[in-house]
Amino acid sequence: MKTKRSMLALVMVMVLSLVLAACGSASTKNSFENSDIETITSTPETASSDASAAPSEEPDDTSKGSNILIAYFSHTGNTEQVAQEIAEYTGGDLAEIQRAEEYGDLQEEAEAEILDGTRPDITVSVENITDYDTVFVGYPIWWDEAPAMIATFLADNDFSGKTIIPFCTSASDDIGNSLHIFSELCPDAEIAEGLTANDLNDIEPWLQELGIIG
Ligand SMILES: Cc1cc2nc3c(=O)[nH]c(=O)nc-3n(C[C@H](O)[C@H](O)[C@H](O)COP(=O)(O)O)c2cc1C
């Protein structure tokens, strides 16, 4: 009888050990499962947002940027900064317009050039301007007009069938009064809505409205 009880106790101990072992392995499995769930929950979010952003944006950037030129004249750097922002948003190429000869007396000579319709010689840091279908043209407002170098740039190149997008920086005037040279010198180009870009925050919504970026 005593032996029977001992056997029974031994069997119960073994059964109990098995049950405890099973619980232990289940809780270990759960903790892996939980950490797997955490990993899976965060990974697809990151992966799917990366995956949805990368393939859809990459071809757009490439196809758009390869066809966009951002040409600008800048005397003290403000317009250049705007041009660089536009290049970052669009992936377009930058081209700096410079006067071939520096001004002697800027105030006198620059105003006289604009009033007389003089077209001073310029250099442009890109040769194949007409390979681009969309050309941003940026400049500072001088006496409520575009500097004469912009007139040279527009007159020297054939923009027929292309889209020109003017932008400027200024102390206070907006771009409106300066825009007449675009239709005068490039009658066969489409002139898109220009921007007075004195606030860099205006650039992105303007590009979106134009349909240049999404
Ligand atoms: C010669 C000259 C004439 C200017 N005329 C005007 C003007 O008529 N209206 C205006 O709002 N700002 C005028 N400005 C201010 C510039 O348009 C402004 O500082 C612009 O942001 C400069 O751009 P930049 O740094 O690219 O040269 C003039 C500046 C200069 C140097």
Q: What is the pLDDT of residues 182-206, one digit of tens each?
A: 999 999 999 999 999 999 999 999 9
Residue-wise pLDDT for 21-73, tens only, equals 443 333 333 332 333 322 222 322 323 333 333 333 444 444 556 799 999 99
Q: What is the total count of domains within the chain?
A: 2
Q: List helix spans (H) across 66-163.
A: 78-90, 106-116, 148-156
In a domain, 96, yes or no: yes
Domain hosting residue 182, numbered range: 66-210
Q: Give the ligand 1 atom nearest the CA of 107.
A: 1
Q: Are residues 86 and 142 in the same domain?
A: yes
Q: Work out the average pLDDT over 2-24.
A: 46
Residue 122 banded pLDDT, cuts 50, 70, 90:
very high
Q: Which of 102, 103, 141, 177 to mutate to test the pocket of ligand 1 (most atoms within 8 A of CB)?
A: 141
pLDDT in tens, 86-107: 999 999 999 999 999 999 999 9
Are the CB atoms for 129 and 92 separated by under 8 Å?
Answer: no
CA of 147 to the centre of ligand 1 (A): 9
When comparing pLDDT for 6 and 24, which is higher? 6
CA–CA gap between residue 124 and residue 69 (Å, rounded): 12
Q: Are residues 41 and 74 in the same domain?
A: no
Q: Does any ligand 1 atom lie closer than 6 A to the CB of residue 143?
A: yes
User: What confidence score (pLDDT) does residue 127 get?
Assistant: 87
Residue nearest to atom 18 of ligand 1 (CA): 170
pLDDT at 172 over 80: yes
